[in-house]
């Protein structure tokens, strides 16, 4: 890689954003940074903008504008705030955009980057889970390249280079199995918040750690993989692999399985996206399988992890059902963190919300982002209304 | 794959040849078979030629010609015998050639296929070990495609599709560790022929099974990989993996490791070569990692497996040293099978032969196949002469 690549970071101060900043700083002038954004941490964003010599810095929250503006005074870096400014950051001409704004607030800026045909390193889950059809069609029409950042999808993307897409027989997403991998169903139903927050391999935020404990994260990843790689639901599988070293696998029709492995360091998939189709040096620890010694595998247990069947239901139903599934899960996890629901109540609430949405026939595929956001809102309020009932049932 | 592919099988009756025949028979008319050859098993070759409706069938051994001719009478299949006919079979216009003649007799026919720019599925080890430079330069000049059939190299070939060659930091060949993986050095030195012939995972001929017990096979594979993939010796590594499920891995500079996995069935890499760059359905059992349960890894032990240091010496020296190494090992294994040498004597004889060739300065790179064959002959006689001395020393 000798040409200078222009890049924008949507969500520069979160975990993925910080790892990306780390790689850009090691880039020795190979990158020119157009725009950086953050939700509301103006101080951290200003520091990133200065370190990377960005042209434009945006905080989503208008209340943080003044602090950002002051922190950047005299640097020549333009400051802005609000949703329209986030979208403007995405629209500015950078070849490569890291889409790491989390939550539904990331939908419009990420779509804006795809719409102008950028190479989008996609770390925002909602684009695929809530609006996968809209997002992928928009990207395809604009000639945008979508590179998955998530370690599982990045692994599958790499493994897909070994053969034509039509010759893929199965796509396998690995799962650590989370902290409750070996627990009984009964013990899991009454697991505490503290127990659910202890992830064996990755250090992540509370929402995603609890999704790992329920295996809801794998359901969301199946939905993402379905859209990213245009793989039919019946070809998508989950395999429990407690060491999280093999991140994803592709089985071809001749029986070959191609996999990507690596240390659990997000800088590996991010470096892959940043340099693709070339490669750059990465600071992550080299994988030493002799030192690790052993990798183990188990079939996921649908009895102990009821999320898996719910995820498959959403995946196979398609339309707006994955959007409902995701919204219900977010409400359920928030209720669990607020100690309004037990651990077993998370799946119960998701199921009840899917049923309620079915009864309302509110499951047609969103035709645009606004429709997807409307379904998301509807499902959140459906789920929220169901919390007391599910909480009472579990007692 | 819809176009009909013309194919030739050099070595149609051995293990790799038979697996290829099996795949061709499942091809439903997608293949037209130009030529098939065998060493001397005329009956088996005639059956293959009839089943595949080949145009030309050749036995290497002229003594087997009459039987072949008779067995093909009335079929319209042309019969021939001898070295020139083997070369003619390779020269006949088939797009794809399986080069599965084993031993140095396979050198000239395989080279003939490469010289006319065919796609060569390479299962003959000598082309790379004894004449790697000559062979790969000839193939490149003719625009031939060389596809590795050996499961390890095929795995690496597949893994190399995930990134540019210049971004590869390491190429890792896995090794089962053979029947003596857990034995002490002392126990190994006095291992019997029967013990050495018990390979844990693959059912193969005696020579290659003993090479697996000494790990000489991995040395030969490193030399092959060096030529096949133009990878420097210091980037080539061996990793012991007793289950033989991961066949090979490529580490990229960003820390990603891409691997190919599969059941131990040669029809998987052969199917890959047969359809490349597409894929075809294969009859091999699908890999079920949950059922396998666990994959383990160990660093190879240079103390218990002295072959590894000898192989690295040959790899790093280059020139004719790999040819000497291979010839010495063949003599040593034959002497072990003939109970003239103990198991520990195999590595001792190879080392003594490398030393003797060094003293003669007989290590310049062969410029053509005839020079490679001359080095091979010289090294065999050097090694043969050393057998009594090594046998005496070991007692």
Average pLDDT on A216-234 reads: 97
- In this prediction, residue A2 has a pLDDT band, given cuts at 50, 70 and 90, of low
The contacts of residue A153 (CB under 8 Å, 6+ apart) are: A221, A224, A225, A228, A248
Contacts of A296 in chain B (CB under 8 A): 293-295
Distances (CA, A) of A191 to A188, A220, A298, B94: 5, 22, 22, 65
Looking at the predicted structure, is the pLDDT value of residue B395 above 90?
no
Contact A296/B293, CB-based, under 8 Å?
Answer: yes
Average pLDDT along chain A:
95
Looking at the predicted structure, is the pLDDT value of residue B35 above 50?
yes
The dihedral sign for the CA sequence B296, B297, B302, B308: positive
Residue A205 is predicted with a pLDDT of: 78
Chain B nearest-CA distance from A237, in A, is 12
Contacts of A297 in chain B (CB under 8 A): 289-290, 292-295
359-388 of A, contacting B, C-beta below 8 A = none
Average pLDDT on B256-285 reads: 97
Contact B279/A158, CB-based, under 8 Å?
Answer: no
- Of B241, B152, B238, residue with least CA distance to B200: B241
The model's pLDDT over A31-49, given as tens digits with 9 standing for 90+, comes to 999 999 999 999 999 999 9
Tokens coding A310: 């719910």
Average pLDDT on B25-41 reads: 95
229-248 of A, contacting B, C-beta below 8 A = 239-241, 246
CB A173, CB A239: distance < 8 Å:
yes
Looking at the predicted structure, is the pLDDT value of residue A280 above 90?
yes
- Option in A162, A284, A298 nearest B162 (CB): A162
- In this prediction, residue B18 has a pLDDT band, given cuts at 50, 70 and 90, of very high
The model's pLDDT over B148-202, given as tens digits with 9 standing for 90+, comes to 999 999 999 999 999 999 999 999 999 999 999 999 999 999 899 999 998 666 6
Tokens coding A185: 């169903």
- Option in A159, A261, A290 nearest B298 (CB): A290
- Option in B263, B268, B279 nearest A167 (CB): B279
Contacts of A249 in chain B (CB under 8 A): 261
Looking at the predicted structure, is the pLDDT value of residue A377 above 50?
yes
- Of A35, A152, A51, residue with least CA distance to A99: A35
Is A174 within 8 Å of chain B by CB?
no
Is A271 within 8 Å of chain B by CB?
yes
Average pLDDT on A207-216 reads: 93
Contact A255/B286, CB-based, under 8 Å?
Answer: yes
Listing DSSP states for B203-235 in one string gives ---HHHHHHHHHTHHHHHHHHHHHHHHT--GGG
Average pLDDT on B3-32 reads: 95
Residue A1 is predicted with a pLDDT of: 47
Looking at the predicted structure, is the pLDDT value of residue B312 above 90?
yes
Minimal-distance CA residue of chain B relative to A163:
B278
Contacts of B250 in chain A (CB under 8 A): none
Name the burial class of residue B19, with classes exposed (0-12), middle (13-18) and buried (19+) by CB atoms within 10 angstroms of its CB.
buried
Residue B158 is predicted with a pLDDT of: 98
Contact A254/B284, CB-based, under 8 Å?
Answer: yes
Helices (H) and strands (E) in chain B, counts: 18, 12
Q: Where are the beta strands (DSSP E) in chain A?
A: 5-10, 31-38, 56-59, 78-81, 96-99, 119-122, 145-148, 168-175, 236-240, 246-252, 257-261, 294-296
Pairing of strands B257-261, B246-252: antiparallel
Is B255 within 8 Å of chain A by CB?
yes
- In this prediction, residue B2 has a pLDDT band, given cuts at 50, 70 and 90, of low
332-361 of B, contacting A, C-beta below 8 A = none
Interface pTM (ipTM) of the complex?
0.96
* Backbone Cα Rg of chain A: 21
- Option in A239, A254, A285 nearest B280 (CB): A254
CB A242, CB A178: distance < 8 Å:
no
Average pLDDT on A229-241 reads: 98
Looking at the predicted structure, is the pLDDT value of residue A394 above 80?
no
CB B245, CB B229: distance < 8 Å:
no
Minimal-distance CA residue of chain A relative to B257:
A261
- Option in B262, B297, B299 nearest A256 (CB): B262
Contact B255/A286, CB-based, under 8 Å?
Answer: yes
Minimal-distance CA residue of chain B relative to A277:
B163
- In this prediction, residue B362 has a pLDDT band, given cuts at 50, 70 and 90, of confident
277-296 of A, contacting B, C-beta below 8 A = 277-282, 284-287, 289-290, 292-296
Minimal-distance CA residue of chain A relative to B272:
A254
Name the DSSP class of B287.
Answer: P
Name the DSSP class of B145.
Answer: E
Residue B28 is predicted with a pLDDT of: 83
Is A394 within 8 Å of chain B by CB?
no
Name the burial class of residue B237, with classes exposed (0-12), middle (13-18) and buried (19+) by CB atoms within 10 angstroms of its CB.
middle
Chain A nearest-CA distance from B291, in A, is 7
């Amino acid at each position: 890689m000798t040409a200078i690549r222009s890049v924008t970071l949507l969500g520069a101060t979160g975990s993925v954003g910080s790892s990306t900043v780390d790689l850009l700083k090691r880039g020795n002038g190979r990158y020119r940074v157009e725009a950086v954004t953050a939700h509301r941490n103006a101080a951290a964003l200003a520091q990133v903008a200065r370190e990377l010599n960005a042209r434009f810095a945006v905080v989503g929250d208008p209340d943080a504008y003044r602090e950002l503006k002051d922190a950047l005074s005299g640097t020549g870096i333009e400051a802005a705030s609000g949703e329209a400014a986030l979208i403007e950051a995405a629209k500015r001409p950078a070849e490569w955009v890291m889409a790491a704004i989390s939550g539904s607030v990331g939908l419009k800026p990420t779509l804006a980057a795809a719409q102008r045909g950028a190479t989008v390193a996609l770390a925002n889950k909602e684009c695929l889970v809530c609006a996968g059809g809209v997002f992928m069609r928009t990207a395809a029409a604009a000639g945008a390249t979508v590179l998955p950042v998530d370690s599982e999808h990045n692994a599958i993307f790499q493994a897909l280079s070994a053969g034509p897409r039509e010759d893929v027989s199965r796509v396998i997403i690995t799962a650590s199995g989370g902290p409750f991998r070996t627990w009984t169903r009964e013990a899991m139903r009454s697991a505490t918040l503290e127990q659910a927050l202890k992830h064996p391999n990755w250090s992540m935020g509370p929402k995603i750690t609890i999704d790992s404990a329920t295996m809801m994260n794998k359901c969301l990843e199946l939905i993402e993989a379905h859209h990213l790689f245009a793989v039919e639901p019946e070809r998508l599988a989950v395999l429990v692999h407690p060491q999280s070293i093999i991140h994803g696998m592709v089985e071809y029709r001749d029986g070959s399985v191609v996999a990507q492995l690596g240390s659990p360091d997000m800088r590996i998939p991010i470096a892959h996206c940043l340099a693709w189709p070339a490669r750059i040096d990465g600071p992550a620890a080299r994988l030493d399988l002799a030192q690790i010694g052993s990798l183990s595998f188990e079939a996921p247990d649908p009895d102990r992890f009821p999320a898996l069947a719910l995820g498959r239901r959403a995946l196979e139903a398609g339309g707006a059902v994955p959007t409902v599934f995701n919204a219900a899960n977010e409400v359920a996890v928030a209720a669990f963190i607020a100690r309004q629901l037990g651990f077993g109540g998370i799946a119960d609430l998701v199921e009840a919300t899917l049923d309620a949405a079915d009864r309302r026939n509110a499951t047609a595929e969103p035709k645009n982002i606004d429709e997807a956001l409307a379904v998301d809102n509807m499902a959140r309020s459906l789920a929220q209304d169901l919390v007391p009932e599910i909480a009472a049932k579990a007692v």
